[in-house]
Every structure is written in structure tokens, then in C-alpha cells.
Amino acid sequence: MRFDEAFKAMKQGAKVKLPSWGGYWFWSKEKQTIIIHTKDGEELDIRETQIPDYTFENICSDEWVLADGENCPELGGEATFSFGEAIKYLKRGMKVARKGWNGKEQYIQLATGISYKTAEGNAVNCEHDAIGNKAIAFVGTSGVQMGWLASQADMLADDWKFVE
């Protein structure tokens, strides 16, 4: 939902969040403001945010959802998100995985500074500024697969989650 809808829901007593968040936002009738309940259990008046750019980017999102015991870690659930969000987090250096993947130790992460060994045994470093030298690495129980490609099911799934 868009933020205007999320704001109306907050004013009616709902807690709202973006899919990847561990915490949520809610409306305080007493203070007449939005309170940010963080993933660490702290509460912050939105007017005291230290990173307004980040806060405004979140407000502009159209992916707001109601926070509940299934989708919000601070309420006992688990945060999941779309493949588009997963790519965004990969680019920030985070590890992500599908909730639906069978292997507990499976995840993907962004690999940089890629090199390879030629048939002659020479190491070649790929420093391609024009086309990039990054790839998605799939880390599984059998090792690492460089250049992992998402299936259509992976790309359309909304069960992506963070891996520690």
C-alpha cells in the first residue's frame, strides 16, 4: 500500500512497516506523531530521525504492509521481502536467502574483485569498469557457485529474508 493508506491505518490504530523491516511504525495519539519502533525495540519520534533522507525514501515507498505476528520480528514473526529488495540488499553487502529453500546453509551474496585461473594456471583478475566485475554467488552445502541465476520462481517470490 502507499504511505497515505498506511498513514490512515496508523491513525486507526494499526502498526505498519516495509516488508524487510524488523520493526514497525505506529501513530501515538498521546504525542500526535508517528513513533518508529525499531528492530532493536527502541522507540523514536519520527521528528527526531537522524537520517531524514532514509525516512523520506521510506515514506515514498508503495510497499507498506500491516505489521503483525507473522511478518514482523518485533511482533514475533519473520520479515520477508521481494526479489527486487533482495537485490538492493545484496548491493549493500548483505546475505539473503529464500525462506522456501531446503538447505539451511544456502544463501546468495554479491561477489566482487572476481578472478579466475586460465588453463595455463595463470590468475586473471577481471577489472572491467565498463561491464563490471561483480556477480551473485550462491553459497550452498556443496560450495560456492559463481554467477548464480535466479529462476522465475525466485524472481517472483516474496519470501526472501536476511541471513546472518
Give the Cα separation of 15 and 67 in Å (integer).
5
Among 23-32, 57-66, 105-114, 127-136, which stretch is predicted with the lowest mean pLDDT?
127-136
Report the pLDDT value the prediction gives residue 105, as an integer from 0 to 100.
Answer: 86
Report the pLDDT value the prediction gives residue 16, as an integer from 0 to 100.
Answer: 98
Inform me whether the pLDDT recorded for 129 exceeds 90: no
Report the pLDDT value the prediction gives residue 113, as an integer from 0 to 100.
Answer: 79
pLDDT (mean) for 122-127? 76
Q: How many CB atoms lie within 10 A of CB 37?
A: 21
Where do runs of H (alpha helix) occur along the chain? 3-11, 52-59, 83-91, 152-156
User: If we measure between CA atoms, which residue out of 63, 79, 83, 57 comes closest to residue 2?
Assistant: 63
Average pLDDT of the residues of the chain:
92
Inform me whether the pLDDT recorded for 147 exceeds 70: yes
Q: Tell me the three state secondary structure of residue 101.
A: coil
pLDDT tens for 70-124 read 999 999 999 999 999 999 999 999 999 999 888 778 999 999 878 878 899 888 7
pLDDT tens for 16-51 read 999 999 999 999 999 999 999 999 999 999 999 999
